[in-house]
Amino acid sequence: MIRTYIRPYGSTREAYKINMETGEVLHYFINDNAKISNICYPFSFYHTSFSKMGYTSTANMIKELKRRKYLGVEVDTCRQTAEEISALLHLAKFRASKDFNLFDIEDKLINIYGLSEEYTSKILRYITKHDIERHTITVIKSDGDGFTTEINGTPAEIENYYNDRVVFIA
């Protein structure tokens, strides 16, 4: 299970994604002061672990970081990840419109968010060439049955479309 925490940090937000099983920690920031692009995209990723941070366990690390008020509020990891992928797609669209390089966005989607090269190429092409934001989701019906699909739209639009529980995969 991965737990995600976010807190305000100056003109940005500080985020921690903590893998409770492995003890791996992804520490990064989210641009909250997007004066040029109006996109709240994630940046400055740093991989570490509870042991490298000097703690004896993941639980001990979380307890101490909460005590020091470093963690902020816990948020739904799947939803937060979808928002971050969405922001990176919009950043790609912005950069493409200015003829800027997209290489670091592709790298982040593959290496930070675990998307395949093929899927990353497809969703970047959709957003930059056709202005279509695309996500992979699982919809879980009230009876427990579910299905996985790709759908166009922002995370908020997708959640509003379905009356059932939506779990974002990418």
- For the segment 95-142, what is each residue's pLDDT rounded down to a tens digit? 999 999 888 999 999 999 999 999 999 999 999 999 999 999 999 998
Residue 99 φ then ψ, to 5°? 60, 35
Given pLDDT bands bounded at 50, 70 and 90, which one contains residue 161?
very high
3-state secondary structure (DSSP) of residue 162: coil
pLDDT of residue 76: 95
- For the segment 15-67, what is each residue's pLDDT rounded down to a tens digit? 999 999 999 999 999 998 666 667 889 999 999 999 999 999 999 999 999 99
- For the segment 70-81, what is each residue's pLDDT rounded down to a tens digit? 999 999 999 999
CA distances from 166 to 13, 65, 77, 91, 154 (A): 25, 30, 13, 24, 13
Q: For 7-27, b where at least 16 C-beta lie within 10 A, e where not — what string?
A: eeeeebbbbbbbeeeebbbbb
pLDDT above 90: residue 11: no
Residue 13 φ then ψ, to 5°? -125, 140
Measured distance CA(65)–CA(99) in Å, rounded: 41
Measured distance CA(101)–CA(96) in Å, rounded: 7
